[in-house]
Structure formats: C-alpha cells, structure tokens
Amino acid sequence: MTYLEALILGAVQGLTEFLPVSSSGHIELGKYFLLGENPDEEKSFLREGTLFTVVVHFATALSTIVVFRKDIVEIIQGMLQFKWNKEFQFSLKIIVSMIPAAFIGLFFSDELEDFFSGDIVLVGFMLIITALLLWLADRAKNTTKKVSYSNAFVIGVAQAIAILPGISRSGATIATSVLLGIDRAKAARFSFLMVVPLILGKMAKDVLDGGISMQMDNIGILTAGFASAFIFGVLACTWMIALVKKSKLSYFSVYCFIVGVMSIITGYYF
C-alpha cells in the first residue's frame, strides 16, 4: 500500500463512517478500483489490510469521542454516581443496542468474510437498499420521542445488518430511529455513540486473537491513514449531525442509488 492509497482509503473511511453512504461498501469499491484484478497487489493489500482497517476504525472512533466529548463525560459522570439517572439508562440502552452486532461478530465472523471478497455487484445492491432507507427516513414526521430500550434493540438489529458492505451503518441506524419516531437529533447522537464500544471491542478482540501484527516499515503508511481518517471523520460527524436535523438525507439517497447502479453495471459488464 502506498502513502497515497493510505490517505485515500483513510479519507474514505473517515467520511463514510458517518455520512450515510456505507464505509465498508466504499472501502470495497476503493480496493476494486485501486488494485484492479492484480492478484499480487491484492495479496499484499490483504496482508496489510487487517492492521490498516483496525487503525482507521480507531481513528473514526476517536473522532466520535472528540465530537461528543461533552456527552461522553456526562454519561461517565452519571454512571459513576451509581444512580438510576438518565445517563446510566442511556449507557444501558447503548449496551442493549450492541447485542445483535456483537452476537453476529462473535459467532459468524468467518461467514461474514465471504461478503468482503470484492463483489461490487453485491455492494451495488446493498447501496440501493441504503438509498431506499434514507429516502423513507427523510419523509418521516419529526417528533421529540426519546430512545427506549426496545427501540435500542431494534436499532441494534439495523446496525448488525449494516455489517454487510453497502448497507450504511449510520444510514441504517439513523433511518431506523427516525422511522421509529425518534427525534432526529437524538437519533444521530445515539447512532454515533452506539458504535464506539463496538469498534473498541473489535480492536481488542483482534489484538488478543493475534490477528494483527505490527511492522515498523508500515508505521508511516498507518500514520497517514490514521490522520486522514481522523480529520475527515471529525468533519463528517459534525456535518452529518446538522444534515439529520435539517432532513437532508435524500441527497445521500440519490448518491447511494447512483453509485449502486454504477457498481452493478461495472461488476456485470467490465
């Protein structure tokens, strides 16, 4: 992997982790167009890819923490009081939302790898599903409803489904929240905060399993990817919060539909 590729893939991860266009889908498209069908380049990329993926995901988790630092401090302070306050209840809802994705990740990790084999036709169809979700969410009525425990689980199911490349995690969780009648600002806040423990948990699992190895000659490339993902993550997270409040998800719906159709056509005919 070159520095330019690291910067591009880091930017793609940072932007698409928060913007509802599917980070995993765009990473698959990025690999397809950057590497083409060269098996030697693909093998080299895959050797570096696991550690690189962990690094850029950590960068986006860190960008979430930076953007929501005040919320996170309040939640931690509320939990440390050991009282049944709103902060403690919010943390419990986060835990409930993690259950579906954690279950899939723990027991079906090998099966999931089959979906990340460069099949851009699959990515295309999943992007079209994302487009439909965003289109429906943008037309839902705005309310002041808060996230309930049952809602948290349903949103967690949406997050688990979004493991598929092309289904946007933020798009699926925010759209599901809005369609459940949850306030848009609360939906965006819950969507972004609920993924942080999962990312950190996945990183810890990879480290403990020995699935990643550090090589000093990759430090520069990893640093470039981390910096790119973090900077673009902060920008995208801040921008996305404003867009959700203003009901502007339809713009991303059009984008996902166009990219999805182009991916299908490219996969079938080129």
pLDDT of residue 39: 45
pLDDT of residue 35: 62
Neighbours of 93 (CB within 10 A): 22
Write the single-letter amino acid at 104: I
pLDDT of residue 141: 82
* Structural domain span for residue 56: 3-269
From residue 201, give the alpha-carbon distance in Å to each of 82, 195, 256. Answer: 24, 10, 29
pLDDT of residue 213: 58
Neighbours of 36 (CB within 10 A): 10
Report residue 248 as tokens: 């502007």
Q: What's the pTM value of the predicted model, to 2 decimals?
A: 0.84
Domain count, the chain: 1
- The per-residue pLDDT string of the chain (270 residues; one tens digit each, 9 = 90 and over) reads 788 888 988 898 888 888 899 888 887 887 777 665 554 554 454 445 667 878 888 899 899 999 999 988 888 887 787 778 888 899 899 999 999 988 887 787 777 777 777 689 999 999 999 999 999 998 888 888 889 999 999 999 999 999 888 999 999 999 999 999 999 888 989 999 998 888 888 777 777 776 555 555 678 888 999 999 999 999 999 999 888 888 788 889 999 999 999 999 998 887
Report residue 200 as tokens: 């950190």
Report residue 269 as tokens: 């005919």
Question: Which conformational region is residue 132 in: left (phi greater than 0), alpha (psi within -120 to 50 degrees), or beta?
Answer: alpha
Mean pLDDT, the chain, whole residue set: 84
